[in-house]
Structure 1
Amino acid sequence: MDADGANLWQQALSRIPAPAAIFATGKGLAKPLGAATGFADPEGRRPFTTETPFRIASNTKTFVAATALRLWERGELDLDQPAAALLTPALTELLQTAGYGTGEITIRHLLNHSAGIFDHTGTERFAKVIHEVQDHVWTREEQVRLSCGSSGPTASPGFEFRYSDTGYILLGDILERVSGRPLAFLVRQEMRFDELGMTSAWWEKEEPAPAGVVPRARQFIGKEEFTALDASADLFGGGGLAMNVRDLASFMAHLFEARIFQRPETVAEMLSAGTHKRAEDYRLGLFSRYVGEVEVFTHAGFWGTLACYSPDSGVAVAGCTLDKAYFGELERLVEEFLLAVA
């Protein structure tokens, strides 16, 4: 990719009527390529660049899943072990009271969203607080309690794929208890942030922003701003990380290009599909989809973020729009790029 390619990408981004950034890297590219448009702070006229951090929301799930697999490859975690014995007892009690067979829900079920855990983010109360009480400080137990108080199991464990933030909140609790380390510290260590030069990445509220990083971008849905939303709304494993588009793309390349896991079998395990309904759609922390005839492993984040890797082309791409309303346009641009390099 040369300067002309970067200019073309800049022009393509300008079609999105909101600030946006995109970055590509990986062994399939001669050199990394990035572009960005608009302002990270519209009033302060601070440019949005590939170095500007933002909340990546559910893109965090890929980091959490990969951390679980790091423990698995060292023999510290059995993916097919029931979750009940590993969870904080208060959380197990909440699940059991709501009718969950906690002895049947495994770590793998949580990782691939086949545990049948009702997603608390789909409740009316969660939406009301997010929009109207943005300074509310949530706890992990409060969010699990909201899930359990709203519904019992959505399906039997291992029956079908149903996306659930609450399942990853439970997974975050398990990883902390198994490792004896806070989740933010555990992910930073196991994903080798410092060693691999991911200098913009941090877990909000749990660790300080890295020294020298520029302020986090303001993020919107249409005209409604969510920049000041307390990070605890999405903190405990389903989300929590902030970083720039460069580090998000670089992480995907690190993950697939043997710079995080010790053994190639671990990547294969992460990409393995279960036998439940729609198992092909979501593996362990990653969606699987086809762009043209090429399989791409990907994840999106609620506020308008996207990260993916194409094993066939050896290319990782990450993108962000600061207005979630234009996520579809960003997704199409990323697909166009992946088709071009394929």
Structure 2
Amino acid sequence: MSQRDFPSDRAVRPRWLRTLTASALAVSLVVAASLPAAAAATPSAAWSGTEAQRAQLQQLARKLVEAGAPGVIVRVDDGRGRPVEIAEQAAWTRRDHLLKAGDEFRMGSNTKTMVATLVLQLVAEGKLALTDPVEKWLPGRVPNGKAITLRMLLNHTGGLSDYTEDAAIRPAMLGRDRRRWTSAKLLAVGVKHDPLFAPGTKWSYSNTGYAAIGAVLERVTGTGLAELVRDRIARPLNLKHTYYATDATWRGSHAHGYELDAAHMPPGVPAEFRHFAGTRHHGHVDVSDNDPGWGGAAGAVVSTTQDWSRFSTALMSGKLLPAAQVAQMRTTVPVDARQPDGPGYGLGIQTGATPCGTFWGHDGGMPGYLTTNLTDRAGSRTATVLISTEFWAEFEADPKIAKAAQALQTAVTCTMFGKPVPTAAHAG
């Protein structure tokens, strides 16, 4: 999937938490698909396991920093030995924080996988049904709510317009508005706009759908999302650095996220998206302390590479959900009607085929943080890439970073599947 495959007007609007089409996750598909299958999947004489993996991935992570990324964290576990963990950062960021592979960071839209897991747990307990119309739980709050099911909200086929495109959210995105955005408030912003299509007829990534899901979870359980994530996922799995953020506070050592300041922002970026709140130095703004609450059920979770690997393994192996609900999560719809056999989206999770293997996972974008999480079908292999700047993925703002990110993501994907890093990616 390439940006070029989608309507041109999307190139002038931000994609924060809104779409996978320009994401690092999709990038791995684009690049891997362009490589000869043999180059990506056939072991070579030069392949020597973990040390070779580490050296190649570290080189690509350094190239990404040299291309302009303030920091990069990589963790890859191929299920056969000690995971590869890498942290690289630009020299100018060291005065703020020495980046470590175990640091916390904003997960952005990866939150959707966790929120979908909560819904499916309640389905297994008989408290919800995927066929429930949203009107049943949120009467009068969603247009055409009798025709939109919880399944449609989870797999982005409900047709709801995305609240992140509304100007009311923009100050919060830029860190200039500290108001608390509840699920109900985010949903209200999204449903002010006309639906994009009749429920169930198309696919379009919608954070509004997950705001609705958040409101449903709170209504059914009488419990806040932060407590649900803590009690149903983080504590049972001993995820000590995973939590649903209720304010800008971090709980542990964390990666600092940065965006270019207004003076260094590429000229194609509209004026209304050029001014982030935060401390300025070296042509960047440190956005780490900006509140992620506007992400809500669509993007407010914080985690680490190790924690998310444990979560992915538990999820895909059936530790968090019964087999029937895991199967429902993996039931996908095409993300592009023109590619019915291409990448698919399930319930809070995406899948796609590469020459090195078929992955499951998600990604997330929030100012200062762009994250990709991958796993295999069984959850025995996992990988995470964090890039500590996100704006390069908006407005096609930095082709140099994009190229380096593509090379790293492709290499990470193949390493996760125990395959040699493609020569083309390594050279990138």
Shorter-chain TM-score category?
A: 0.7 to 0.9
Does residue 317 of structure 2 align to residue 257 of structure 1? yes
Q: Secondary structure at the match of 2:358?
A: strand
Equivalent residue, structure 1, for 2:219: 177
Q: Secondary structure at the match of 1:14?
A: helix
Does residue 297 of structure 2 align to residue 246 of structure 1? no
Residues 41-50 or 238-247, more deviating: 41-50
Does residue 150 of structure 2 align to residue 107 of structure 1? yes
Structure-2 separation of matches of 1:166 and 1:123: 11
5 Å matches for 1:1-342?
A: 2-17=50-65, 18=69, 19-25=71-77, 28-38=79-89, 42=93, 44-87=95-138, 89=139, 92-93=140-141, 95=142, 100-131=143-174, 133-149=176-192, 151-191=193-233, 193-205=234-246, 210=251, 213-214=252-253, 216-222=254-260, 223-235=284-296, 237-261=297-321, 263-274=322-333, 278=337, 281-292=344-355, 294-302=357-365, 303-311=369-377, 314-324=380-390, 325=392, 326=401, 329-340=404-415, 341-342=418-419
Unmatched runs of 5 consecutive residues or more in structure 1? none
Per-residue deviation, 1:112: 0.2
Q: Secondary structure at the match of 2:63?
A: coil
Q: Secondary structure at the match of 2:135?
A: coil
Per-residue deviation, 1:59: 0.7
The amino acid that maps onto 2:129 is D
Per-residue deviation, 1:54: 0.9
**Cα pair 2:364 2:372 within 8 Å, conserved:** yes
1:152-176 deviation line (CA, Å, top 9, x unaligned): 1111111111101111011011011
Q: 1:11/1:158 Cα in 2 relative to 1: closer, same or farther (>3 Å)?
A: same
Identity of aligned residues (%): 22
The TM-score normalised by the length of structure 2 is 0.69
Structure-1 separation of matches of 2:165 and 2:414: 34
Structure-2 separation of matches of 1:137 and 1:336: 39
Q: Secondary structure at the match of 1:238?
A: helix
1:3-53 deviation line (CA, Å, top 9, x unaligned): 453343222211112210011236x33232211111699263421111111
Structure-2 separation of matches of 1:40 and 1:46: 10
Query: C-alpha root-mean-square deviation of aligned residues, in Å?
Result: 2.7
The amino acid that maps onto 2:115 is V
Per-residue deviation, 1:201: 1.0
Q: 1:166/1:327 Cα in 2 relative to 1: closer, same or farther (>3 Å)?
A: farther
**Cα pair 2:111 2:301 within 8 Å, conserved:** yes
1:103-127 deviation line (CA, Å, top 9, x unaligned): 1111001000111110010223423
Structure-2 separation of matches of 1:184 and 1:67: 12
Equivalent residue, structure 1, for 2:39: none
The TM-score normalised by the length of structure 1 is 0.86
1:139-159 deviation line (CA, Å, top 9, x unaligned): 33332222223x211111111
How many pairs does the alignment contain?
Answer: 326
Structure-2 separation of matches of 1:258 and 1:20: 31
**Cα pair 1:159 1:276 within 8 Å, conserved:** no
Q: 1:174/1:312 Cα in 2 relative to 1: closer, same or farther (>3 Å)?
A: closer
Per-residue deviation, 1:78: 0.3
**Cα pair 1:317 1:334 within 8 Å, conserved:** no
